[in-house]
Amino acid sequence: MNLTIDIGNSRTKLALFEGDALVLRQLWVEWTIEDLLQLVTNHKVQNVILCSVGRRLELVELTRLESQCRLVQLEADTPLPIRNAYKTPQTLGKDRLAAVVGASALFPGENCLVVDAGSCITYEFLSAAGVYLGGNIAPGIKMRLRAMHEFTARLPEVELNKMEEWIGDSTPNAMNNGALLGTALEIEGYSQKWATAEGSSKTILTGGDAALLQQTLSISAIHEPDLVFIGLNKILKHNVE
């Protein structure tokens, strides 16, 4: 049993794998090392991987965890099942890297464009040879809506909604379309540019706004909400087997 842990700034996401099969997901807002050790014990976890962009475990907590299982902490120098060509791996978000490894696990030998649609949108490029070439970062959809409201005098605060018509017939609709459709067209543009450079590729969506974007896109895209977990499990297996 493998436990993958993605520690963010405000919440912690966990997924339990039996081999390659994801068998349990949990979302924790507050937790202690005792909670984590209890989970490890209850599910007879043998291997754990930590991916943290938020809270860092204290040395005493790590020691207690390592006393019960094999522990891998995802860092810039952690061995990977792909080649990382990013020039500054120390500054690369660990969740970005895990998503790319997840795409490699799902679609080996294929060019992949990985789009993580969260607070920011990240675009990651993985070659068919298994080389992560890098990626780009852009404002997320909700960030675009908030920026329009906060940086202008009269544009209202608008909640993100599904697009009904692509031409806005009111200011809220125009803002919603500008943020949502603009992002979808951005993804399509990256997909076309990537295909021109490398040939056919898979476009994989993950993150909180991925499902809404998939409905808006005019190109084929795969929605995989567990992409980061799949990548973390792949990295964990690469290091312990």
Would you name the residues annotated as active-site residues? Answer: 95
Q: Which pair of structure tokens corresponds to residue 177?
A: 């379309």
Residue identified by tokens 């791996």 is 89
Q: Calculate Rg over the CA atoms of the chain.
A: 19
Nearest CA-CA partner of 105 in 241, 215, 227 = 227
Joined together, the tokens standing for residue 238 give 């690469």
8 A C-beta contact, residue 236 and residue 228: no
Residue 12 makes CB contacts below 8 A (sequence gap 6+) with 5, 6, 27, 28, 29, 31, 54, 55
Positions of E strands within 79-228: 83-84, 111-117, 120-126, 131-139, 201-206, 222-223
For residue 32, give the amino acid letter: T
